């Protein structure tokens, strides 16, 4: 806010100004005020008869002590320490454990001049409400700290709140806070009762009155939340096929998709928007939906940035379906993230999708064929436009108006995940990791296999690997985009050619990338290049045969090691000495 005639902004009206240099007033004017040496005390020390009360600060050295004597703690860190100390004392005396979320603590620290921790309680009947609803009322709406019974871990009907009050007023302050909380909890109780009267699926029609992205209308696509909900079902059906779900899992996933957005029409979510997903799961559970369906609905809004547990298998698929539709829709209408601007949080969502696809084993996404990044977005594009093939390629890979393409955007998020993933524990640099991921032009690969590939590379002896990788890099530089054929037999091969051919045959076709197996190739490759002229102008047939031989070698190692950038890997090993 801007006050008086100045250009300075401040959050509240400025009533007085203190400016001291040692014991003298430093003469400045701000906010239409002249600086002085007097400051107002905590309003609790003032009375109606005396009115506003000021005290003089005699010296800058006395500033903090003068304020503390008048119940104002100027040091933020000391307010934090005081709050945590008082909460700890109340926990010990009352044998409960308080939940102190960091974001709530940071907010409360800045609300009070002289923080005092007090205990309040609410009627035990409200413990029948779902815990997530009660704690939301306590934390988000009242800025209270919920308390849990120490032995059972159950939510208690007691809570801690931080007040700005004198000891003589504590009883009234506690009663006032309890009265306000009771009114809030009665509202929450009413919302629950009303929501349970209507089957969750019957709230689907309300979604037609809610806008998802109005610009989708220009593309002749349903721009309402109902349209999004219908696409969610279509996407989940395709993901179910791609991941080879059994009949029951497929039914549960589709049912979860049908119900996923229905809680947006509930009273709970209307009053507490942060309860999306949780409210739907609660209602679905009370209305006797399968437990797997309820868990999937609850975990659809999980993200990499949160401390939530990883979702269940169906929850992961539902979450992927929801977020690929978000990203594809926004890209389709041209609202691409630029610089630091990302109003729809697409980077966060893309990172979560990459994380789920990459860590399918960790989240127990037991699938026969892990969906790739490109394939899941192809499913989303088809649900949006009922188109496929060339139109998808244009949408996915090409950039309009010099904006980043969807493929490039996802590739960048993927590299971020590889490097910062909390579960991979890789010691690699981003440049090293990028050597294992073919390119943004090819996002059709199994991410979990690449993770295994990188891990095995890090475990291998790098000094032993350098010679063999250097030899393969030499091959890759010769064999680029020429149309070559795989060599199937050894007829007509010369001595060095035959030795290389035999070494190629020893490359196992399994998917376990043991990098040290490449060591058996370095000697025959080097002997080949030392003794054979690959491009012989007088022997076109021999030149073709030798190039086919090198092509066969490169094809087999690329298949086994997922087509890494051999040049980058050699540079990486050389940089390590």
Q: Which residue has the higher pLDDT, 157 or 2?
A: 157
N-terminal to C-terminal alpha carbon distance within the chain: 58
pTM for the whole structure: 0.78
What are 392-406's pLDDT values in tens digits? 888 888 876 657 889
With 70 as the cut, is the pLDDT of residue 363 above it?
no
State residue 62's pLDDT score: 92
Contact 146, 155 (CB under 8 A): yes
Exposed/middle/buried for residue 571 (C-beta within 10 Å: 0-12, 13-18, 19+) = middle
Please state, in angstroms and rounded to a whole number, the distance separating the CA atoms of residues 23 and 45: 25
Q: Which residue has the higher pLDDT, 363 or 272?
A: 272
Percent of the chain whose predicted confidence (pLDDT) is above 70: 92
For range 378-394, the mean pLDDT: 87
State residue 167's pLDDT score: 87
For range 241-266, the mean pLDDT: 93
Name the CA dihedral angle for 434, 440, 446, 452, rounded to a multiple of 10 degrees.
Answer: 0
- Neighbour-count burial for 38-77, b at 16+ CB within 10 Å, e otherwise: ebbbbeebeeeeeeeeebebeebeebeebbeebbbbeeee
State residue 404's pLDDT score: 85
SS3 56: strand
CA atoms within 13 A on the CB side of 41: 17
With 90 as the cut, is the pLDDT of residue 448 above it?
no
Please state, in angstroms and rounded to a whole number, the distance separating the CA atoms of residues 108 and 102: 10
State residue 528's pLDDT score: 92
Contact 3, 31 (CB under 8 A): yes
For range 388-395, the mean pLDDT: 83
Contact 513, 452 (CB under 8 A): yes
State residue 366's pLDDT score: 62
With 90 as the cut, is the pLDDT of residue 341 above it?
no
For range 222-232, the mean pLDDT: 95
For range 380-400, the mean pLDDT: 85
Contact 434, 564 (CB under 8 A): no
What are 181-221's pLDDT values in tens digits? 999 999 999 999 999 999 999 999 999 999 999 999 999 99
Confidence class for position 428, pLDDT limits 50, 70, 90: low
Confidence class for position 30, pLDDT limits 50, 70, 90: confident
Q: Which residue has the higher pLDDT, 47 or 147?
A: 147
State residue 63's pLDDT score: 93
State residue 279's pLDDT score: 95
What are 529-568's pLDDT values in tens digits? 999 888 888 888 888 888 999 999 999 998 888 888 899 8
With 90 as the cut, is the pLDDT of residue 88 above it?
yes
State residue 317's pLDDT score: 93
What are 456-505's pLDDT values in tens digits? 888 888 888 899 999 999 999 888 766 788 887 777 788 998 998 889 88
Q: Kindly report which listed range (37-51, 258-272, 314-328) carries the lowest average pLDDT score.
A: 37-51
With 60 as the cut, is the pLDDT of residue 151 above it?
yes
For range 36-60, the mean pLDDT: 86
Percent of the chain whose predicted confidence (pLDDT) is above 90: 54
State residue 382's pLDDT score: 92
What are 52-65's pLDDT values in tens digits? 889 999 999 999 99
Please state, in angstroms and rounded to a whole number, the distance separating the CA atoms of residues 505 and 502: 5
State residue 215's pLDDT score: 93
State residue 326's pLDDT score: 96
Q: Which residues contact 346 (CB under 8 A, 6 or more apart)?
A: 326, 327, 330, 337, 409
For range 92-105, the mean pLDDT: 93
Tell me what the pLDDT averaged over the chain comes to: 88
């Amino acid at each position: 806010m801007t006050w008086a005639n100045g250009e300075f902004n401040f959050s509240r009206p400025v009533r007085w100004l203190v400016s001291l240099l040692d014991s003298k007033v430093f003469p400045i004017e701000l906010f239409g005020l002249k600086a002085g040496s007097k400051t107002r005390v905590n309003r609790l020390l003032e009375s109606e008869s005396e009115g506003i009360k000021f005290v003089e600060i005699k010296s800058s050295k006395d500033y903090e002590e003068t304020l503390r004597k008048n119940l104002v703690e100027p040091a933020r860190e000391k307010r934090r320490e005081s709050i945590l100390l008082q909460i700890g004392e109340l926990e010990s005396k009352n044998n409960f454990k308080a939940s102190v979320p960091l974001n709530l603590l940071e907010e409360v620290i800045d609300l009070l001049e002289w923080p005092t921790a007090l205990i309040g309680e609410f009627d035990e009947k409200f413990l029948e409400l779902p815990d997530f609803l009660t704690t939301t009322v306590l934390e988000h709406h009242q800025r209270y700290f919920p308390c849990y019974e120490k032995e059972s871990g159950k939510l208690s009907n007691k809570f801690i709140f931080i007040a700005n009050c004198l000891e003589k007023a504590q009883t009234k302050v506690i009663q006032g806070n309890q009265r306000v909380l009771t009114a809030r909890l009665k509202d929450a109780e009413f919302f629950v009762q009303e929501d349970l009267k209507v089957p969750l699926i019957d709230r689907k029609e309300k979604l037609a009155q809610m806008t998802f992205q109005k610009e989708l209308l220009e593309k002749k696509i349903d721009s309402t939340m109902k349209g999004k909900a219908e696409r969610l079902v279509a996407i989940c059906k395709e993901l179910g096929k791609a991941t080879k779900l059994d009949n029951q899992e497929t039914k549960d996933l589709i049912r979860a998709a049908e119900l996923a957005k229905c809680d947006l029409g509930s009273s709970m979510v209307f009053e507490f928007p942060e309860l999306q997903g949780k409210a739907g799961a609660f209602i679905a559970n009370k209305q006797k939906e399968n437990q797997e369906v309820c868990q999937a609905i609850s975990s659809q809004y999980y993200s990499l940035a949160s401390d939530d547990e990883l979702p269940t298998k169906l929850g992961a698929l539902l979450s992927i379906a929801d977020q690929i539709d978000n990203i594809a829709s926004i890209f389709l209408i041209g609202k691409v993230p630029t610089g630091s601007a990302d109003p729809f949080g697409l980077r966060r969502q893309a990172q979560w999708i990459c994380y789920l696809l990459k860590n399918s084993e960790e989240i127990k996404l037991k699938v026969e064929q892990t969906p790739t990044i490109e394939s899941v977005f192809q499913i989303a594009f088809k649900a949006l436009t009922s188109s496929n093939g060339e139109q998808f390629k244009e949408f996915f890979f090409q950039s309009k108006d010099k904006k980043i393409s969807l493929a490039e955007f996802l590739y960048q998020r993927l590299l971020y995940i590889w490097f910062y993933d909390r579960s991979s524990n890789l010691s690699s640099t981003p440049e090293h990791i990028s050597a294992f991921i073919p390119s943004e032009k090819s996002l059709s690969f199994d991410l979990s296999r690449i993770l295994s590939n990188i891990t095995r590379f890090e475990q291998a002896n790098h000094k032993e690997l350098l010679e063999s990788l250097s030899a393969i890099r030499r091959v890759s530089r010769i064999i680029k985009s020429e149309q070559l054929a795989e060599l199937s037999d050894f007829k007509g091969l010369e001595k060095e050619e035959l030795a290389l051919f035999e070494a190629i045959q020893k490359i196992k076709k399994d998917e376990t990338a043991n990098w040290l197996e490449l060591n058996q190739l370095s000697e025959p490759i080097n002997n080949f290049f030392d003794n054979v002229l690959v491009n012989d102008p007088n022997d076109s047939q021999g030149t073709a045969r030798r190039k086919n031989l090198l092509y066969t070698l490169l094809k087999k190692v690329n298949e086994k090691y997922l087509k890494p950038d051999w040049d980058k890997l050699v540079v990486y090993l050389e940089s390590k000495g």
